[in-house]
């Protein structure tokens, strides 16, 4: 679905992956659905017919897909690229934060009681860890006060 050309202003399908123009093209803005009908002689001679999701009807071939389906197909097309492989090797930075906090301040045995005080203690621990992660010259400057 990501290979269909769509006019950005009218949001209608302007051509199929082979370059054929549709006889009718409609975009339903409320449901975010693209709909188009193509001439039978164009689709029957198309080498991509077995890969295309058009449905044969009595007088023409019909295709209909949502904006979500189109975006999903665009994302899938990028998955095999080199840039995607580079980005997928990164690890989420948030994964290490709970581990560091559990080692720095054991959350199972907080020295306070009550839900509000526990939340305050945990937020203070997070803020302390953020200050520790600052570059060393700034950290030394703050410790001077």
31: three-class secondary structure by DSSP: coil
CA 62 vs CA 17, 24, 37, 74: distances in Å:
14, 9, 5, 21
Q: Which stretch of 1-5, 13-17, 103-107 has the lowest confidence by average pLDDT?
A: 103-107
Residue 93 has pLDDT above 70, yes or no: no
CB atoms within 10 A of CB 53: 10
Among the listed residues 139, 135, 128, the one whose alpha carbon sits nearest the alpha carbon of residue 104: 128
Q: Which stretch of 27-36, 52-61, 82-91 has the lowest confidence by average pLDDT?
A: 82-91
Q: What is the average pLDDT value for the chain, to the nearest integer? A: 83
Domain coordinates in residue numbering, the chain: 5-80, 94-143
24 forms beta bridges with 37
pTM, 2 dp: 0.56
Q: What tokens does 75 get?
A: 């994302």
């Amino acid at each position: 679905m990501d290979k269909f050309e769509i006019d950005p202003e009218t949001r209608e399908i302007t051509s199929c992956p082979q370059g054929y123009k549709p006889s009718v093209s409609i975009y339903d803005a409320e449901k975010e659905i693209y709909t188009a009908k193509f001439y039978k002689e164009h689709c029957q001679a198309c080498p991509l017919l077995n890969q295309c999701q058009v449905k044969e009807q009595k007088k023409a071939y019909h295709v209909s897909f949502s904006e979500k389906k189109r975006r999903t197909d665009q994302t899938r097309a990028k998955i095999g690229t080199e840039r995607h492989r580079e980005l997928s090797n990164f690890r989420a930075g948030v994964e290490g934060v709970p581990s560091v906090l559990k080692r720095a301040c054991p959350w199972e045995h907080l020295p306070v009681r009550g839900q509000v005080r526990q939340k305050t203690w945990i937020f203070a621990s997070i803020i302390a860890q953020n200050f520790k992660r600052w570059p060393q010259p700034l950290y030394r400057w703050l410790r001077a006060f």
